[in-house]
Amino acid sequence: MLLSPADVNPPTEERSIRISELADVTGIPVATIKYYLREGLVPRGRPTAPNHADYDTSHVQRLRVVRVLREVGGLSIETIRQVIAVIDDPERPLHDVLGAAHRAISPSSSPVAAPDREMAEVDRLLGRLGWDVDPNAPDRRELADALVALRSLGHDVTADSFVPYARAVEPIAADEVAGLPAASRDEAVEYVVVGTVVYGAALAALRRLAQEHHSARRAADRRSLS
Amino acid sequence: MLLSPADVNPPTEERSIRISELADVTGIPVATIKYYLREGLVPRGRPTAPNHADYDTSHVQRLRVVRVLREVGGLSIETIRQVIAVIDDPERPLHDVLGAAHRAISPSSSPVAAPDREMAEVDRLLGRLGWDVDPNAPDRRELADALVALRSLGHDVTADSFVPYARAVEPIAADEVAGLPAASRDEAVEYVVVGTVVYGAALAALRRLAQEHHSARRAADRRSLS
């Protein structure tokens, strides 16, 4: 994915920003910024006078990621707090930060116990693909649930039916990870959430459009034969 | 996608089926079948006695597609009625039936007017891809909305950023359309809805898992360098 967050954080020297400027730059109303400050989602500024504080570009980045988690990810304040806690924990590597962002925006699994047989099939599939994925990644469950759904509808399929889909998305995912901004953890989370949600919607739309195109071509071929 | 509906409709001679057998075969309760009959989603059976009718395998297929539209597609009875009307109209080619199924299960667009600039960019993109797609396909709007979302978040992207995603899904879509069951329009709609929704969820999960894999590999590479 080709996001270019460069316009937001020019590598200039740090300067002080007032809360009204924060609102102008991020498009987030002052009242909402104050709410995020109270909720601890955004760190306090440097106090300059009673009831006044100065902020800096790190606050702009943090506000951007909170906005994206809310508006694009559709997350609750509580879930955003959990993601922010991982961002702010210097002991956690960037890979964990991405995992936390992924988990927050992934569809939540059915409360029914995971289907043993299908979970084992998905594990074997990921092994065959050679993918290094956390044994507790919730998307394993997503795949197992898809298999259960197909079988309950009477389709005699195995996890191998996912292989062409896995092969199709792997090069995309490699490019996406290669493009991850490394300088700021807030920026990295913003990139992952926007990329996963917005480009995910685009990917689904493109798949349907490509199906329509191939269906139209098939219909035209049949007309020309008859 | 590798669906095999063969187990449901063995090509044996037609035989009469009672409503209780319909319920057994499809797993749909008799009361629900009667409701679908009253709503006109399933054609009436052949009357054999007062309050009795016989059904056949076409009713089994129809019940399966109604169930899939409801449970997998999450559609209202009214939307299902619209899809069924296209299935049952002999004047409409199979390509239209697929389009109707697609439209029913696609995300519904924002009620705000379509963004002119982004719609034009998406049209040019589809032209460059050489895709033959209905000018009114709602997924054009989906892509335009994704561009608007990216820009409103400050990302300076063009419709070209969708090209790698389009290239990735095109071969999958070609296989999916090639596998479309041609013998029955009900079966074709079931295939499209199950394929789009269930394999769509699997595709999204596989993309996230592939991202995790590449992120893990990147983290391991950096550890081995340090």
Residue B10 has pLDDT above 50, yes or no: no
CA distance B225 to B213: 19
Beta-carbon separation of A168 and B173 below 8 A:
no
The pLDDT score that the predictor gives to residue B8 is: 47
Q: Residue B180 — φ and ψ, nearest 5°? A: -60, 125
CA distances from A124 to A19, A138, A151, A155, B18 (A): 52, 16, 18, 20, 43
* Per-residue model confidence as pLDDT tens digits over B205-223: 999 999 999 999 988 888 8
Least confident residue range of A81-85, A95-99, B12-16, B89-93 = B12-16
Q: Are A193 and A72 in contact (CB under 8 A)?
A: yes
The pLDDT score that the predictor gives to residue A119 is: 96
CA-nearest residue of chain A to B136? A209
The pLDDT score that the predictor gives to residue A125 is: 98
Q: Are A105 and A196 in contact (CB under 8 A)?
A: yes
* Per-residue model confidence as pLDDT tens digits over A175-197: 999 998 888 889 889 898 899 89
Beta-carbon separation of B215 and A154 below 8 A:
no
Least confident residue range of A20-34, B99-113, B179-193 = B99-113
Q: Which of B209, B207, B179 is nearest to B194 (CA)?
A: B179
Q: Are B145 and A224 in contact (CB under 8 A)?
A: no
Residue B41 has pLDDT above 80, yes or no: yes
The pLDDT score that the predictor gives to residue B184 is: 87
Least confident residue range of B11-15, B31-35, B102-106, B199-203 = B11-15
Which residues of chain B have a CB within 8 Å of the CB of A137? 209, 212
Beta-carbon separation of A209 and B8 below 8 A:
no
3-state class of A1 per DSSP?
coil
CA distance B123 to B135: 8
Beta-carbon separation of A174 and B210 below 8 A:
yes
Model confidence at B83, pLDDT cuts 50, 70, 90, reads very high
Least confident residue range of A106-110, A139-143, B11-15, B194-198 = B11-15
Using CB atoms within 10 Å of the CB of residue A223, give its burial: 0 to 12 exposed, 13 to 18 middle, 19+ buried: exposed
CA distance A179 to B45: 59
Q: Are A59 and A43 in contact (CB under 8 A)?
A: yes
Which residues of chain B have a CB within 8 Å of the CB of A106? 205, 208
**Distance between B46 CA and the closest CA of chain A, angstroms:** 27
Residue B108 has pLDDT above 90, yes or no: no
Model confidence at B122, pLDDT cuts 50, 70, 90, reads very high
Alpha helix ranges (H) inside A11-159:
19-26, 30-38, 57-71, 77-87, 94-105, 116-129, 138-152
Higher model confidence: residue B209 or residue A223?
A: B209
Task: Give the count of beta carbons closer than 10 Å to the beta carbon of residue B115.
Answer: 17
The percent of residues above 70 in pLDDT, for chain A, comes to 93
The pLDDT score that the predictor gives to residue A157 is: 94
Query: Count of A–B CB contacts within 8 Å?
Result: 260
Average pLDDT over residues A145-158: 90
Residue A11 has pLDDT above 60, yes or no: no
First to last CA, chain A: 43
Beta-carbon separation of B177 and A215 below 8 A:
yes
| Residue of A28, A155, A192, A197 to mutate, interface with B, max B Cβ within 10 Å | A155
Q: Residue A170 has which token pair?
A: 């792997």
CA-nearest residue of chain A to B8? A154
Beta-carbon separation of A165 and B213 below 8 A:
no
Which residues of chain B have a CB within 8 Å of the CB of A214? 173-174, 176-178
Beta-carbon separation of A212 and B99 below 8 A:
yes
Least confident residue range of A12-16, A52-56, A76-80, A171-175 = A12-16
CA-nearest residue of chain A to B161? A2
The pLDDT score that the predictor gives to residue A108 is: 78
Using CB atoms within 10 Å of the CB of residue A112, give its burial: 0 to 12 exposed, 13 to 18 middle, 19+ buried: exposed
3-state helix vs strand vs coil in chain A, percent to 5 = 65, 5, 30
Beta-carbon separation of A177 and B72 below 8 A:
no
**Distance between A48 CA and the closest CA of chain B, angstroms:** 30
Beta-carbon separation of B203 and A205 below 8 A:
no
3-state helix vs strand vs coil in chain B, percent to 5 = 65, 5, 30
Average pLDDT over residues B120-133: 96
Q: Is A4 left (phi over 0), alpha (psi -120 to 50) or beta?
A: beta
Q: Quick check: ipTM above 0.95?
A: no
Model confidence at A120, pLDDT cuts 50, 70, 90, reads very high
Beta-carbon separation of B146 and A170 below 8 A:
no
Average pLDDT over residues A115-129: 96
The pLDDT score that the predictor gives to residue B3 is: 58
Beta-carbon separation of B72 and A210 below 8 A:
no
Residue A9 has pLDDT above 60, yes or no: no
Let me know the angle formed at the C-alpha of A116 by A110 and A121, rounded to the nearest 5 degrees: 105
CA-nearest residue of chain A to B1? A161
Model confidence at B202, pLDDT cuts 50, 70, 90, reads very high
Average pLDDT over residues A117-126: 97
Model confidence at A159, pLDDT cuts 50, 70, 90, reads very high
Which residues of chain A have a CB within 8 Å of the CB of B100? none
The pLDDT score that the predictor gives to residue A5 is: 47
The pLDDT score that the predictor gives to residue B20 is: 93
Give me chain B's average pLDDT, please. Answer: 88
Q: Are B100 and B82 in contact (CB under 8 A)?
A: yes
CA-nearest residue of chain A to B143? A202
**Distance between A188 CA and the closest CA of chain B, angstroms:** 12
Query: What distance lies between CA A157 and its chain's CA centroid?
Result: 29
The pLDDT score that the predictor gives to residue A51 is: 81
Which residues of chain A have a CB within 8 Å of the CB of B198? 146, 149-150
**What sign does the dihedral B138-B143-B144-B150 (CA atoms) show?**
positive
Beta-carbon separation of A133 and B198 below 8 A:
no
The pLDDT score that the predictor gives to residue A210 is: 96
Write out the E strands in B50-102: 52-54
